[in-house]
Amino acid sequence: LLLLLLALFSPGSGRLLPYDLLYADGVRAYFARDWPRAAELLQRALHSYSQLLEARRGCQGGCREEAGFVGPPAAPSWEPRFFDRVLQRAECLGECLGRRLGSEPSLHRASREIQEDFEQREPYNYLQVALFQLKKLDEAVSAAHTFFVANPQHLQMREDMEKYRRMAGVKLESFRDLQATPYWEAYETGVQQYNVDKYLQAAVKLEVSLEEVLLALEDCRALCEGPQEDSTEEEMQPGLYEAIAAHYIQVLKCRQHCVLEVATKPGRVSATDDFIPSHLDLLQFAYDQVENHALAAECAASYLLFYPSDEPMLEKMKRYRAELGEGASVTARENIQRYVQRSLMEKKLIYYAVEHLGGTFNDPDPWTPDELIPESLKQKHKENQEKQRLENLDVGEQEQTGPFTFEGITVAMDSHQLNGSQRVVFDRVLTDSECKDILRLAKAAGGTEDGYRGRQSPHTPHERFEGLTVLKALQLAQDGTVNWRDAKLLLHASEKSRKIVESYFTPGKRLHFSFTHLVCRTAVEGDQDGRMDLSHPVHADNCLLDPEGKECWREPPAYVYRDYSGILYLNDDFHGGDLFFTELDAV
Model pLDDT for residues 205-263, shown as the tens digit of each residue: 999 999 999 999 999 998 888 776 654 444 445 666 677 888 888 999 999 999 999 99
Cβ(8)–Cβ(27) under 8 Å? no
Main-chain phi, psi angles of 273, to 5 degrees: -60, 135
Residue 139 has pLDDT above 90, yes or no: yes
> How many folded domains does the chain comprise?
3
Q: Higher confidence at residue 43 or residue 152?
A: 43
Residues 378 and 446 occupy one common structural domain? no
Q: Give domain status of residue 579, yes or no.
A: no
Residues 286 and 435 occupy one common structural domain? no
Burial of 189 (0-12, 13-18, 19+ CB in 10 A): middle
Residue 39: the pLDDT is 95
Residue 400: the pLDDT is 45
* Tens-digit pLDDT profile for residues 161-212: 888 888 888 888 899 999 988 899 899 999 999 988 899 999 999 999 999 9
Highest mean pLDDT among 273-282, 353-362, 396-405, 469-478: 273-282
Residues 318 and 339 occupy one common structural domain? yes
Residue 5: the pLDDT is 38
Residues 351 and 493 occupy one common structural domain? no
For the chain, what is the mean pLDDT?
81
Query: What DSSP string describes 113-138?
Result: HHHHHHHTTHHHHHHHHHHHHTT-HH
Main-chain phi, psi angles of 381, to 5 degrees: -65, -45
Residue 27: the pLDDT is 92
Reported as a pLDDT band with limits 50, 70 and 90, residue 547 is low
How many other β-carbons are positioned within 10 Å of the β-carbon of residue 86? 13
Residues 418 and 515 occupy one common structural domain? yes
Whole-number Å distance between alpha carbons of 586 and 69: 65
Residues 34 and 129 occupy one common structural domain? yes
Q: Higher confidence at residue 304 or residue 473?
A: 304
Give residue 89's domain range: 2-174
Residue 38 has pLDDT above 80, yes or no: yes
Q: Give domain status of residue 571, yes or no.
A: no
By mean pLDDT, which of 324-328, 402-406, 438-442 is the weakest? 402-406
Q: Give domain status of residue 70, yes or no.
A: yes
Residues 169 and 189 occupy one common structural domain? no
* Ramachandran class of 273: left when φ > 0, alpha when ψ lies in -120 to 50, beta otherwise: beta
CA-closest candidate to residue 430, choices 242, 299, 566: 566
Residue 109: the pLDDT is 84
Q: Higher confidence at residue 549 or residue 394?
A: 549
Residue 100 has pLDDT above 70, yes or no: yes
Cβ(489)–Cβ(468) under 8 Å? no
Residue 73 has pLDDT above 60, yes or no: no
Q: Give domain status of residue 120, yes or no.
A: yes
Residues 20 and 62 occupy one common structural domain? yes
Q: Give domain status of residue 250, yes or no.
A: yes
Q: Tell me the CA distances in angstroms from 166 to 127, 140, 141, 161, one per residue in order.
A: 20, 14, 12, 9
Q: Give domain status of residue 432, yes or no.
A: yes
Distance of CA 416 to the CA centre of its chain: 25
Give the 3-state secondary structure of residue 8: helix
Strand partners, 519: 467
Residues 168 and 127 occupy one common structural domain? yes
Residues 277 and 383 occupy one common structural domain? yes
496, HSE (Cβ side, Cα atoms, 13 Å): 17
Residues 420 and 380 occupy one common structural domain? no
Residues 6+ apart with CB under 8 A from 288: 296, 316
Residue where a domain stops, chosen among 174, 193, 208:
174
Residue where a domain stops, chosen among 156, 174, 192:
174
Residue 549: the pLDDT is 61
Residues 6+ apart with CB under 8 A from 175: 141, 142, 145, 164, 165
Residue 396 has pLDDT above 70, yes or no: no
Q: Give domain status of residue 347, yes or no.
A: yes
Whole-number Å distance between alpha carbons of 504 and 424: 9
Q: Give domain status of residue 566, yes or no.
A: no
Residues 155 and 195 occupy one common structural domain? no
What pTM does this model have? 0.63
